[in-house]
Structures are given as structure tokens and as C-alpha cells.
Amino acid sequence: MASESFDAIIVGGGHNGLVAAAYLARHGATALVLEARGQVGGAATTESPWPDAPEFKVTRLSYVMSLLPPTIMRDLELERHGYKVFPMGPYYQAFPEGGSLTLYEEDSQRSHEEIARWSKKDADAYPKWNAWLGGLADVLGPLLLTVPPRIGSRKPRDLAATLRLAWRHRGLDVRTIGDVTRLMTMSIADLLDEWFTSPQIKGALAVNGVIGTWAGPYEPGTAYVMAHHSIGDVGDGRLGSWGFPEGGMGAVAAAIARSAVAGGATIRTGARVAKVLVTGGRATGVVLDSGEEIRATTVVSSLHPKTAFLDHVGKENLPGDFAADIERWKTRSGVVKINLALAELPNFTANPGTHLQEHHTGSVEMAPTMEYIEKAFIEAREGRPATRPFSDGVIPTAFDKTLSPDGTHIMSLFTQWVPADWSEEPHAGELEKYADRMIDAYNEVAPNFKSAIIHRDVVGPYEMEHDYGLIGGNIFHGELSLEQLFHMRPAPGFADYRTPVRGLYYASSATHAGGGVCGIPGMQAAKAAIADRAIRRPHG
Ligand SMILES: Cc1cc2nc3c(=O)[nH]c(=O)nc-3n(C[C@H](O)[C@H](O)[C@H](O)COP(=O)(O)OP(=O)(O)OC[C@H]3O[C@@H](n4cnc5c(N)ncnc54)[C@H](O)[C@@H]3O)c2cc1C
């Protein structure tokens, strides 16, 4: 059953697929996005999970923006298409034993006073830590917009790309290279032990090392994950600080979709792709679940690599080494997202009041110490859900009034860990008990918390895999572990957004610069197709 043909088909209407479509359409290509679900956005989604209370909207999976480069915002005119972000407030942790810690990104004096309540020595070390980390993040940031070269290839073009990369970093001195090496290889726990003494400040700084990661804070590589979250500039201007998009993360996808459509792209939802058609080593189109065939000279897939390559292309169309690399791709997280509708704001014993205060406006954490976080991981690795999970909480309605009725709030808890293999079975009852324990932990420090909950929505790894295509429940289409970064993402020799199949490009979060809602993989895959002249340019 053949239907139309296009210059480019984009498989998957997550934010990266939409970015790819927007760039290709702007280049003059006829571009078709095929999205399996009833709405675009993928993991950047705003939904109403409670049928009897549609007035509450939650950003069901991802919840804050950070790494979207200014170039993409400008090229796709995202602000004109409705993209608006409220900068986040401070980091806040109320401790079960009493007291709290607030860290202000922009106010070093207040942060100093806060930390000094726990340790004067740590308060003095904190600005030096920020300066050290800022310096390293400025080295790592521009790498996010760099297309990884084929390291090891002796082809002149690849050697030149590797040399260009080395030349760009010629200004780095021995000390900086040493510091980057330490950052890439150390655990966040070992690194923080070198800088700080108080458990409270170490707990605060450890969280970013384990977000979305199947590794506790004592595992090597977690220092890099923390630094990844601290990047302020990807080389084309400072990134906005972390923030809440108005209308939730789905509004970001909607703005990109509007930009793509304005550029001439077509978006079809409810269109699940079953296969990528490959003839003579070249992609020629796709087949939908319905049997419909759609032809294109270029196909861009933005799906998880196991789906994109093993299911859609098939091992018979792939080199053995590449197929083996994708088969061994690590894709665990053990993340559970808990979305709550609240009748009132949490009333913290350490900072009382249900009226909106500064500590409600940023991250409202439940990760008091590194040991607390580590214990949650050890339990999950041993096959049990954490007794006391940790949470990166946010209350977007502190700013965004579009998500819930006046006076009520939405709170999003990004929590870890449950066993990685919970992606294979729903574990519905156990997930509810896990959510109860998470809520109890907040209730200990904010005693009105439990009674303030009007509705709750618990999304575990099974739902992430089966409803959203996040295989293994990994939030980034694949772990950000060292062996899966840069020239290894998703496989050595294919980190340049191209694939072993001619005419098939790869734009998922499993490529370099993914994951996160940054759009870079989508942009780079489109640029690779354009550079290869895979796209005809009908109008120019
Ligand atoms: C719980 C959670 C919290 C997160 N928090 C943050 C955060 O706060 N900030 C941040 O920056 N990042 C966060 N992330 C990560 C970020 O959301 C993802 O890395 C990013 O959204 C992935 O975008 P993508 O376009 O690459 O893929 P996806 O969003 O996964 O899009 C792929 C799309 O393909 C569709 N699809 C799947 N199979 C088919 C098929 N056969 N045919 C057609 N379509 C198909 C899917 O429905 C989906 O829409 C979070 C992720 C999760 C899960």
C-alpha cells in the first residue's frame, strides 16, 4: 500500500524529531514527521493524567529546561512560536533532623551565610568550587556542539577532523587537562570529599551527579554527570539558567512543532512506524504499522537505538560490529516520576508557611546526604525498590499559572531508584507503595504535605518504555556512562549523526549532546543530511 513520497521522513515526533523537521523544512525539503502517540513531544510532554480533573496539567516526564542552545532558539524563532521560560529559584533541602539549606545561583553572599550555618569551612570553599567547576564546564560546553570525529580512522577526512578538534583545544594547559580527566573519571562522592566536609553541602551537590543515572554517587563517572548539568555555554552564547517553560515541557515541543509547520513540514500523529525500508544499503522510506508505505530519499530516526536499528532497520541491513554495539547499549535508569496536584504549598517546619516563598520556587529536594542517595541505589541494584528514595522536586506553578486552578499547585518529583528490570513488568502495586514512601519523606519535613495532595500520578520504567518508547526506562535513550559518550554515542564510527545505512540519519538523545531537551541531535542530524546533499533543494 504505497502513498505519497517526501524528501525527508522523520521517525518520531519527540522534540529532536521536530527540530530536525524544522531545519529540513527551512532548507526547502518536503518533510513529514511520523509520531506514534496521539500528540508530539515524546518525553517533553504536558498532559492531564486525571480524567475527572482535566484542569490540572503536568509535565509528566521531563520538567526543567537548561541546555537548549541560543542558535536553535534563534534559527527556529522559538520565542515567536510561544517558547517562554521562567528562571528557577534556589536549591532547597529541609533536613529530617531539622534545619534547611538554600543555595542561590546568583547570590554568593546569601549562599555563604546559608552554608556557614552548617560549616564555615565549606562556606569559604563554595565560591572556589563554583569558579573551578565553571572553568571546566566552559571547556566541556562547546564540545556539545562539536560533531565527534571518527577517532582512530585513518581516512584523510577523519584525521583532519580529529586534528581540528585537537587544534581547537590547543589553549588548554596541563593542569586543565588534568582537571578534566579527574572530572571524567571520578565519582562525585570522591570529588566532593576533596572539597567539602559537611554532609549537607555534599548531599546538595551530589544530586546532579546521579540524575537519570544507573549509578550511585560513589560510582566513577558520576562527577562528569554533575558537570554536564553545570554547563552554562555551549559555545554560541550563554544558555538560559534552568527554568520552567510556561505550559510545561509539552509547550516547548509545541513551539518547535509550530516552527516546523510554519517552515512547511507536515506532522502526522497516531502514525507508528514499523520498518525503515532499505534497498541496496540505502533507506528509501518507511512502512507504518497499518501497512502504509511512504517513500523518501532521506529518513531521519529519532527513536531509541534499539528500536531505530534493531527493530526498524534490522540486523540483516547492518554491519555486524555496529549491530553488536547497539545490542550491548546500556539503557537503565530506575527512575520513577511522581506528579502531584496540591491543594496548598508544602509547609516546611524549617521555613514555615503555605504562602508562596522563595524556597518553593526552585528545586525542592529530598536528598539530604550522599549516604542517603547511595543507599537508595544499592537497594535497587540488589533488586529492591529504595526504602527511602531520593527526589529532585519542583513546583512549576510557583510561576506558571496555566497548569492548575488558582490557589492549587502542581509538584513534580523526579525520584530514584527502583530496580532496572522493572521496565519489564508494570509493578503497579509496588510503585504505589514506593510513591507512598517518597511522600512520607517530604511529610516528615513538611507535615501538611500528605493531606495537601488532591491527585497523584506515578510513572515507572514500564510505562516509560511501553507508552513513550524509552527502552529500559532510561530517560536519555541510553546511559550517560563514559563508554557511551562523545565518539561512542551511539557507536564508534557513527557519532556524526550518520548511520551505516545511506540516507538514514540519526537524531535521538542516544547521540552526542543528548539526552536532555536540548534539540542538538535533531539539528545536527538535519545538518548532516543537508551537508551530504541528501536533501534536494526544490526552491533554491
Ligand atoms: C522522567 C524524565 C525526566 C526527565 N527530565 C528532564 C529534564 O528535566 N530536563 C531535560 O532537559 N531532560 C529531561 N529528561 C530527558 C529528556 O526528556 C529526553 O532526553 C528528551 O526529551 C528525548 O527527546 P527525543 O526527541 O530524543 O526522544 P523522545 O522524546 O523519546 O521522542 C521520540 C518520539 O518517538 C515516538 N515513537 C516511538 N516509537 C515510534 C514509532 N515506532 N513510530 C513513530 N514514533 C515513535 C515517541 O512516541 C516519541 O514521541 C527527562 C526524561 C524523563 C523520562
7-35 pLDDT, tens digit each: 999 999 999 999 999 999 999 999 999 99
Contact call for residues 311 and 286 (beta carbons, < 8 A): no
- Tally of residues, the chain: 540
What is the tens place of the pLDDT at every residue in 307-361? 999 999 999 999 999 999 999 999 999 999 999 999 999 999 999 999 999 999 9
Nearest CA to ligand 1 atom 35: 12
Nearest CA to ligand 1 atom 53: 475
Q: Is the CB of 144 under 6 A from ligand 1?
A: no
Q: How far apart are CA 381 and CA 383, in angstroms?
A: 5
- Is residue 301's pLDDT more than 50? yes
Long-range contacts of 107-113 (CB under 8 A, 24+ apart): none
Nearest CA to ligand 1 atom 32: 14
DSSP 148: P
Q: Is the CB of 273 under 6 A from ligand 1?
A: yes
Mean pLDDT of the region 279-301: 97
Q: Is the CB of 476 under 6 A from ligand 1?
A: yes
pLDDT of residue 539: 46
- Is residue 536's pLDDT more than 90? no
The share of the chain scoring above pLDDT 90, in percent, equals 86
- Is residue 538's pLDDT more than 90? no
Q: Is the CB of 211 under 6 A from ligand 1?
A: no
What is the tens place of the pLDDT at every residue in 151-160? 899 999 899 9
Q: Is the CB of 473 under 6 A from ligand 1?
A: no
Residue 183 C-alpha cell reads as 572530572
Q: Which residue has the cell 537524531?
A: 507
pLDDT of residue 540: 37
Please tell me the distance between residue 43's alpha carbon and the centre of ligand 1 in angstroms: 3
- What are φ and ψ of residue 277, in 5° steps? -80, 130
Q: How far apart are CA 57 and CA 423, in angstroms?
A: 25
Give the residues across from 233 on adjacent strands. Answer: 238
Per-chain mean pLDDT for the chain: 95
Q: How far apart are CA 474 and CA 304, in angstroms?
A: 10
Burial of 480 (0-12, 13-18, 19+ CB in 10 A): buried
Confidence of residue 239 (pLDDT cuts 50, 70, 90): low
Nearest CA to ligand 1 atom 46: 42
Mean pLDDT of the region 474-484: 95
Please tell me the distance between residue 16's alpha carbon and the centre of ligand 1 in angstroms: 8
What is the tens place of the pLDDT at every residue in 51-99? 999 999 999 999 999 889 999 999 999 999 999 999 999 999 999 999 9
- Is residue 229's pLDDT more than 90? no
pLDDT of residue 415: 98
In 306-430, DSSP assigns E strands to 335-342, 363-366, 390-394, 409-416
User: Which atom of ligand 1 is least distant from the CA of 34?
Assistant: 43
3-state class of 429 per DSSP?
helix
Q: How far apart are CA 439 and CA 191, in angstroms?
A: 30
Q: How far apart are CA 415 and CA 392, in angstroms?
A: 6
* Alpha carbon distances (Å) from 137 to 56, 176, 211, 489: 37, 11, 17, 20
Q: pTM here?
A: 0.97
- Is residue 429's pLDDT more than 80? yes
Contact call for residues 192 and 163 (beta carbons, < 8 A): no
- Is residue 237's pLDDT more than 80? no
Residue 16 C-alpha cell reads as 529532536
Please tell me the distance between residue 178's alpha carbon and the centre of ligand 1 in angstroms: 34
Mean pLDDT of the region 269-291: 98
Mean pLDDT of the region 156-175: 88
- Is residue 1's pLDDT more than 70? no
Contact call for residues 500 and 318 (beta carbons, < 8 A): yes
